[in-house]
Amino acid sequence: MGVLRSTESLEAEAFREMLLRSSGSLEFGAWKTGSGAVRRWTDGEERKGHGTVVCVTSAVSFLGFAIVNRLLALGYSVRLALETQEDLDKLRDMEMFGEMGRDGVWVVMADVMDLDSLCHAFDGCTGVFHTSAFVDPGGVSGYSKHMADMEARVAERVIEACVRTQSVTRCVFTSSLLACVWRQNSPRNRRLPTIVDETCWSDESLCREKKLWLALGKTMAEKAAWRVARGRNLKLVTVCPALVTGPRFCRQNSTGSIAYLKGAHEMFAEGLLATVDVNKVAEAHACVYEAMSGSACGRYICYDHIIQRAEEAAELERQLGIANRISGETPTDHPTWFKLCNRKISRLMSSRRRCSYDVYSILYN
């Protein structure tokens, strides 16, 4: 078994380019609170984040990177919670410290299995984005039963740390669509497909039976998060993205993608195999976070494309270097018993865009 670590890190140059574009800085080992954490904008516009400090776990993972980028663009000050020495070394190699930096980005090492370490990392932040997931770089599938158990234990510790950290009031927890779609004895209505939405939960016993370890881990972790947060002084929302794609995802997130696609043939046959661009997932996280002061609550399924044609499945297989993992012998005109629904996140994101447009119209008209 390989070393337990977060989903594959971005290459140093890609992350360096993001930081240079984002008018943020990188300060290691410490962070500011109060007025010193407020970011300054050259155009005089004070953006949505208003310098609010938030923490992102697994900040150099494929998804974590995109969330950091989105938060910086919105004006948040972001603390990057890193888990491994390798991630820290990559940041050091970028030479983004000292005189090269500006205000806005901080780094802290955080052991996600250690409650005190997490509390230390979150202290001074008003919100936490927990994007951490585990893979086994030396494994065939990239994910094992042991990692599913680890994922659930980490979720418990992260939410408990959020509750214990006085400054933290909100947490956006990254789950997966896999925590919704694997259900035992799902009804099959030949006239109308069964809707799969945020009310649906994957069956843990079915995941164990089929050895769908990533689906099991995401289901157990999300349930653990809700269990720990219940009745506590913390606002929790979970985002359940489909297979996360985007520029260079085959190289930067191949292990996590292959783990996601275990059981893909069945998902494809039943109309449940979907993808979502990494930037849309990042936007969804930020949108949900900002809406938590109002109506945002519960779970949010997030996808932007359902793979329905064999040609699409074959192209995804080609990109990831896997053969006959998805479409197999499934006929092109096969009936689908289920219909995915992302209406909840779509309505929220649309309303937030309208609100932003209205604000800017008032400011500039």
Looking at the annotation, which residues are catalytic?
218
- DSSP code at position 84: S
Those residues with Cβ within 8 angstroms of residue 300's Cβ, 6 or more apart along the chain or in another chain: 198, 237, 238, 239, 240, 284, 288, 344, 345, 348
Please give the Cα distance from 359 to 351 (Å, whole number): 12
Pair 183, 250: CB distance under 8 Å? no
Amino acid in the structure at residue 8 = E
Secondary structure (DSSP) of 204-262? HHHHHHHT-HHHHHHHHHHHHHHHHHTTSS-EEEEEEE-EEE-TTHHHHSHHHHHHHTT
Pair 300, 236: CB distance under 8 Å? no
Please give the Cα distance from 277 to 108 (Å, whole number): 28
The values of phi and psi at residue 172, to 5°, are: -105, 120
Please give the Cα distance from 134 to 258 (Å, whole number): 13
Strands 194-196 and 105-109: unpaired
Q: Which two tokens stand for residue 318?
A: 């080609």
Please give the Cα distance from 127 to 134 (Å, whole number): 22
Amino acid in the structure at residue 223 = K
